[in-house]
Amino acid sequence: MRYEFWAGSYGTKEEETIARFSLDTETGQMEKIYGCSGAENPSWICLNRRKTVLYSVEELSPQGRILAFGVGEQGLEPLASLSTGGADPCHICLDEGERYLLAANYTSGSLAVFGLDGEGIPVRETDFIRHSGRGRNPVRQEGPHVHFSCVAGERAYVVDLGTDLVSVYGLEGETGRLLETGEALRLPAGAGPRHLAFHPHIPGLLYVACELDSSVALFREKDGAYLPEGRVSALPEGFAGENTAAAIRLRRDRLFVSNRGHDSIAAFSMGEDGGLRLCQTIPTGGRTPRDFAFMGEYMAVANQGSDEITVLRMDPETGKLEQTGISAPMSRPTCICPVPPQ
């Protein structure tokens, strides 16, 4: 089987900071198809469903940007570049109808929403919100830090590491405006929520990866409110070193989180009720695994600290991850974006 994926990274405009890779699982070969320059610090990227437009942040301060590129056979064609109105945008996402693009500004604690035209090109800002407040950690939570957003139906979930909150907004389909709902998921002080994921089959159940305490928190919606149902550590018992959790992904009946410091992927089994149990932590084969993504049974991992992308494989029968020895070099990779198969 042959898979393809895009990877984003930290680097200057002169460097190949966005690259397209192929993974041949029969031969065990992974190689770069081509690299693209022109984007500075594209630490998060995403692709539209038609695979015609690749979106990227430029994680810059005091003003970050979003970029849009047309996807060609031999590279990327710049289509648009807009200011996010804030510092260090670190995540972007599309709404389900691909009418809007949301950009999270980490350092300034804000979120910008952009309207897309019929070709998927961002053309205007439709809304902008700025959070306030702080958390318990004086270094990492001295102010709001919006790290992630996602849209489910008519709701936008905005994860703020700095205030230990996931705020829930309404997203107005015709205007792209964000509406206050008063709903929020409150994490324990100092947890530092980073990313979240929804259970694929149980409505109203979601999981929050908490960066600062390396845990996964469970929340279940009941009567219009999200109630906490506990937390599980992403680290093995006895580990005493420094670690920050990063990405979270679900695959079949497993949930996975990357550990930076322990330099591993933590695998959790999900019970019938959605409960979690840590069942494996496996080294990624690199350092500082910031992001990862599945392609079939294979997981590509962006190891920012060791300048390489490594590959793990999930056993389809046991669900356990195993190392493959497959890797490819890339300077400071930060994000993996699979290309959906035809």
The predicted-structure confidence for 71-82, as pLDDT tens digits, reads as follows 998 899 999 999
Q: What is the pTM of this model?
A: 0.97
Distance CA 168, CA 182 (A): 7
Distance CA 105, CA 102 (A): 10
| pLDDT tens digits along 177-215 | 999 999 999 999 999 999 999 999 999 999 999 999 999
For 137-224, strand residue ranges (E) read 146-152, 155-160, 165-171, 178-186, 193-198, 205-210, 215-222
What pLDDT score does 25 carry?
A: 95
Average pLDDT of the chain to the nearest whole number: 97
Taking Cα atoms as reference points, which of 191, 178, 195 lies closest to residue 131? 178
What proportion of the chain, given as a percentage, has pLDDT over 70? 100
Quote the DSSP letter at residue 339.
P
Distance CA 64, CA 79 (A): 17
What pLDDT score does 42 carry?
A: 98
Could you give phi then psi for residue 230, rounded to 5 degrees?
110, 170
Distance CA 65, CA 72 (A): 22
Count other Cβ atoms within 10 Å, centred on residue 15. Answer: 17
224 pLDDT exceeds 90? no
What pLDDT score does 255 carry?
A: 98
What pLDDT score does 74 carry?
A: 82
Residue type, 195: H
Question: Would you state the structure tokens that stand for residue 241, as one six-digit string?
Answer: 């070193």
> In angstroms, how far is the first alpha carbon of the chain from the final one?
12
341 pLDDT exceeds 90? no
Count other Cβ atoms within 10 Å, centred on residue 271. Answer: 10
CB 292 within 8 A of CB 250: no
CB 247 within 8 A of CB 234: no
What proportion of the chain, given as a percentage, has pLDDT over 90? 97
Q: Which whole-number Å values give the CA distances from 252 to 135, 152, 249, in the listed order? A: 34, 20, 10
| pLDDT tens digits along 98-154 | 999 999 999 999 999 999 999 999 999 999 999 999 999 999 999 999 999 999 999
Distance CA 257, CA 250 (A): 9
- Region 253-272: mean pLDDT is 97
Q: Enumerate residues 6+ apart whose C-beta is below 8 A from 276.
A: 207, 216, 218, 232, 255, 268, 269, 270
Paired residues of 78 in beta bridges: 69
342 pLDDT exceeds 80? no
3-state secondary structure of 119: coil
